[in-house]
Amino acid sequence: MTLSTTRPRAFRGLLAFAETELRVQLHEEAAILTSMVVQVVLLIFVSILAPSLLGVALVGAIVFSFFALGQRVLNEAAFIRVDHRLNELYLASPLAPESYFFGLSLGVMVAYLAPILLVALAAELVVHFTLVSAVTIVLSVVAVWLFSCSIGYIVSTLFRDMRAIWPWASLLYNLFGVLPPVFYPITSAPVAIRWISLFLPPSAATALINETITPANLTGLQIFLAAASLAVEAALVFLFAIYWARRSVREE
């Protein structure tokens, strides 16, 4: 039996662990089907109360759906660590720790993609996206997703008890995903909130996407701030999650 003495390459085993997690998630059809409940309820509210804002709300639903994947990552990572101790099985192995974090996130995302694509299709039927909007949507949701699953994974490592996790996960994702202008236009928010919203990834993403659909809601400075904060926050948090995934393998 030979033992390699070189360090294993980064992201080793990523796709294989993503496939593992995808299989796990696909066995839970009910969770995938019900992942759209909040979005659909809010869309129904909007279509009754303010039908003209349905396009904005559909964009919000897409962004929120990617943001909410972070909560799934948080719950899943915590569950398989606290309840199953599977982190020990996978982390004391050649699988790279960052592959454990990011493979889990990828698997969850792919599993939940189908209903999100349906919402995106509905949005296209209502809004008729331009190419610029479509590209902005893709880039923005990738950033929101990276941000959200990174936060989800980091937070999952901080708890020893599942019951303690549920309220915090719900608070985190509803506070930042539903409250700020994600499902409604940023111009409807109070001025102070508008500025804060530009720094929160879900509302920054929706502001940018909506700006490509109905321009002139944001100043040039605001567009820059939203784009820059979204990109920088997503990149920093993702890099920190990779660092944290490596570092938290070994408990203190």
CB of 69 to another protein, least distance (A): 17
Report which of 45, 42, 48, 88 is spatially closest to residue 65, judged by C-alpha positions: 42
| CB neighbour list of residue 54: distance below 8 Å, 6 or more residues apart | 43, 46, 47, 126
Does residue 30 bind another protein (CB under 8 A)?
no
Measured from the CB atom, the residue of 2 and 219 that comes closer to another protein is: 2
C-alpha distance from residue 227 to each of 63, 65, 105 (Å): 15, 19, 23
Does residue 1 bind another protein (CB under 8 A)?
yes
Measured from the CB atom, the residue of 30 and 48 that comes closer to another protein is: 30
Task: In whole angstroms, give the CA distance from residue 121 to residue 23.
Answer: 25
Size of the site for another protein (CB under 8 A): 37
Measured from the CB atom, the residue of 4 and 52 that comes closer to another protein is: 4
CB of 162 to another protein, least distance (A): 13
Is residue 141 within 8 Å of 205, Cβ to Cβ?
Answer: yes
Does residue 247 bind another protein (CB under 8 A)?
no
Q: Which of residues 93-122 bind another protein (CB under 8 A)?
A: 93-95, 99, 103
Measured from the CB atom, the residue of 6 and 52 that comes closer to another protein is: 6
- List the one residue from 91, 172, 178, 231 that touches another protein (CB under 8 A): 91
Task: Kindly state the DSSP code that residue 248 receives in the 8-state scheme.
Answer: T
Task: In whole angstroms, give the CA distance from residue 60 to residue 43.
Answer: 9
Task: In whole angstroms, give the CA distance from residue 125 to residue 149.
Answer: 29
Does residue 25 bind another protein (CB under 8 A)?
yes
CB of 234 to another protein, least distance (A): 26
Task: In whole angstroms, give the CA distance from residue 71 to residue 172.
Answer: 8
Indicate the SS3 state at residue 12: coil
Measured from the CB atom, the residue of 103 and 177 that comes closer to another protein is: 103
Does residue 34 bind another protein (CB under 8 A)?
no
Task: In whole angstroms, give the CA distance from residue 171 to residue 206.
Answer: 20
Does residue 235 bind another protein (CB under 8 A)?
no
The binding site for another protein (CB under 8 A) comprises 1, 3-8, 12-13, 16-17, 19-20, 23-25, 27-28, 80, 83-86, 88-95, 99, 103, 249-252
